[in-house]
């Protein structure tokens, strides 16, 4: 029987991962390409779409070369990507400005405008979320207000993964899961809301057509086929936002199944057959990658980002040690953190480096070490960072009841943080549930590939694709003594944000001594 191969491309914040799989889900080749994040002002976050594209091209060429496969055997490509990012193109399909990405917090005034124009209650009815700085709609309004010359040239608005689709196929398309995070989609109808677009004076023609995640949206163009070696018959399916794709990649595609991801952001996620929503909008209710179904999720903005920040700023010694031992620097950091007791000798860390979404909906929240003393070392700070991220994920999980969603008894763990046994045990102890990992930790890349497989006819449905491919690898259960030891620290962590909120909001109003328009 002829081989049928699939490519999954995951356009992340830190890097793009491109992976090639066979129809058993075995990864045949993988390539990861990193790129920078630009922060021209405090709380802003931008990336160059061309960086994503060059990373994608490099990835496709690398996996084809490494696998020595026949490109005609690749039957489909699936795309996963960071959500909410604003990509603006002119009439010729050229990028007009850097993408304002998901963790950018500049649009608080535009969020107020959206709430005023639409009405808070009606906005919740349609999008199942209040106006949030991370979402795309407020970014569109910000560009229109502050960069009208760019807005006036704009003819197409895309999300990050959909820009890659455009470069691969020439097609302007998105999928319902990713479109859910633009705050322009009627979540129940899985299509753009004309009511919202009219209220915000956004031309529907700027937006891409909405598909289900496993639907075929186009084929590789002849130009890209020549550039990469791919075959022109290769389909590209709708794909999914990063978390919806990760759910497919770890098998959380049936009612009541959930996962936690510790990637750049952190997510607690549960799949729902029916649409559920928190009336206060503190957790997100989005379309799932399974056609006609939904999911709820809480998002903490700086999960793995907090650990990467600590690595980059304070762990030069560990990077040298890891290089000398030929191990990953995060594995070395795990060893150091494991030697510090639970509670980091009475040190807490708030991981609000980019503001916070769940449960505070506060773009002005900021990170903090609480309880720092002269007896604390870098190792204590590292342990506190890891614990603070897990506490933030528990904050997310506590809100599921409000949406009428039972917390899953078992959580799949995925993302880069899931590689860490220490972080997984923390997660199990603090959430109080069994934490499992899949045999593959590719998450979004594997999920995107499985969606392509459904589109190509390898499997009849997304759940059946997961049944065929997803298998458990590890399982960790809560340790009773650890649960008890973490509890008072979590309760204190939970209260600290409210005490510091006025300080953070005042800090946001203070002037700095340097120009804030630096790039």
- What structural domains and CATH numbers belong to the chain? 304-405+420-433+476-507 (3.30.420.40)
Tokens standing for residue 146: 């502050």
Question: CA-CA distance, 157 to 87, in Å (whole number)?
Answer: 6
Q: Give tens-digit pLDDT for 183-204.
A: 999 999 999 999 999 999 999 9
The answer on pLDDT for 59 being more than 90 is yes
pLDDT bracket for residue 280 (50, 70, 90): confident
Q: What mean pLDDT comes out for the span 103-114?
A: 95
Going by C-beta distance under 8 Å and a sequence separation of 6 or more, which residues neighbour residue 174? 158, 159, 162, 207, 208, 209, 210, 211, 238
The pairing of strands 434-438 and 368-370 is unpaired
The answer on pLDDT for 39 being more than 80 is yes
Q: What pLDDT was estimated at residue 32?
A: 96
Q: What mean pLDDT comes out for the span 27-36?
A: 96
Q: What pLDDT was estimated at residue 489?
A: 98
Indicate which residues carry an active-site annotation: 242
Q: What pLDDT was estimated at residue 1?
A: 58
pLDDT bracket for residue 414 (50, 70, 90): confident
Quick count: other Cβ atoms within 10 Å of Cβ 85?
Answer: 32
The answer on pLDDT for 460 being more than 70 is yes
Q: What mean pLDDT comes out for the span 413-431?
A: 92
Phi-psi domain of 343 (left: phi exceeds 0; alpha: psi -120 through 50; beta: other): left
Q: What mean pLDDT comes out for the span 365-377?
A: 97
The answer on pLDDT for 517 being more than 80 is no
The answer on pLDDT for 45 being more than 60 is yes
DSSP element (H, E) containing 9:
strand 5-11
Q: Which of 174-178, 214-218, 382-386, 431-435 has the lowest mean pLDDT?
A: 431-435
Q: What pLDDT was estimated at residue 405?
A: 87
Q: What pLDDT was estimated at residue 519?
A: 47
pLDDT, averaged across the chain: 94
DSSP element (H, E) containing 76:
strand 74-81
Q: What mean pLDDT comes out for the span 370-379?
A: 97
Q: What pLDDT was estimated at residue 42?
A: 84
pLDDT bracket for residue 515 (50, 70, 90): low
């Amino acid at each position: 029987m002829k081989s049928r191969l699939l490519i999954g491309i995951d356009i992340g914040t830190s890097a793009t991962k491109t992976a090639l799989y066979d129809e058993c889900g075995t990864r045949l080749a993988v390539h990861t390409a990193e790129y920078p994040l630009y922060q021209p002002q405090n709380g802003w976050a931008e990336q160059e779409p061309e960086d994503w594209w060059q990373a994608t091209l490099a990835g496709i060429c690398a996996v084809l070369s490494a696998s020595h496969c026949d490109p005609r055997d690749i039957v489909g490509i699936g795309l996963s990507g960071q959500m909410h990012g604003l990509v603006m193109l002119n009439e010729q399909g050229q990028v007009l400005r850097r993408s304002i990405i998901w963790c950018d917090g500049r649009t608080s005034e535009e969020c107020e405008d959206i709430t005023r124009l639409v009405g808070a209650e009606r906005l919740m009815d349609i999008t199942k979320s209040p106006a949030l700085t991370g979402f795309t709609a407020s970014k569109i309004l910000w560009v229109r207000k502050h960069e009208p010359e760019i807005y006036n040239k704009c003819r197409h608005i895309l999300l990050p993964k959909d820009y890659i689709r455009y470069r691969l196929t020439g097609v302007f398309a998105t999928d319902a899961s990713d479109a859910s995070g633009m705050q322009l989609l009627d979540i129940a109808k899985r299509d753009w809301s004309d009511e919202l677009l009219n209220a915000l004076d956004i031309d529907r023609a700027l937006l891409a057509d909405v598909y289900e995640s496993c639907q075929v949206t186009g084929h590789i163009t002849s130009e890209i086929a020549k550039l990469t070696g791919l075959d022109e018959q290769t389909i590209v399916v709708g794909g999914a936002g990063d978390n919806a794709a990760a759910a497919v990649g770890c098998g959380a595609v049936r009612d009541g199944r959930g996962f936690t991801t510790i990637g750049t952001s952190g997510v607690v996620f549960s799949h729902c057959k029916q649409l559920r929503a928190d009336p206060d909008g503190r957790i997100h209710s989005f379309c799932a990658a399974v056609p006609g179904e939904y999911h709820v999720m809480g998002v903490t903005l700086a999960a793995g980002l907090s650990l990467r920040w600590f690595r980059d700023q304070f762990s030069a010694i560990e990077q040298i040690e890891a290089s000398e031992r030929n191990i990953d620097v995060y594995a070395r950091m795990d060893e150091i953190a494991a030697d510090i007791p639970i509670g980091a000798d009475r040190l807490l860390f708030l991981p609000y480096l980019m503001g916070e979404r769940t449960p505070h909906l506060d773009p002005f929240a900021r990170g903090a070490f609480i309880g720092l003393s002269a007896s604390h070392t870098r190792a204590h700070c590292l342990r506190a960072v890891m614990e603070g991220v897990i506490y933030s994920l528990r904050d997310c999980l506590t809100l599921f009841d409000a949406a009428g969603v039972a917390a899953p008894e078992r959580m799949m763990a995925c993302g880069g943080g899931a590689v860490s046994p220490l972080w997984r045990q923390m997660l199990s102890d603090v959430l109080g549930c069994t934490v499992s990992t899949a045999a593959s930790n590719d998450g979004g890349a594997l999920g995107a590939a499985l969606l392509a497989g459904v589109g190509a006819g390898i499997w009849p449905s997304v759940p059946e694709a997961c049944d065929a491919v997803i298998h458990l690898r590890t399982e960790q259960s809560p340790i009773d003594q650890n649960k008890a030891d973490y509890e008072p620290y979590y309760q204190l962590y939970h209260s600290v944000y409210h005490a510091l909120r006025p300080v953070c909001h005042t800090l946001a109003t203070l002037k700095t001594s340097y120009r804030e328009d630096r790039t």
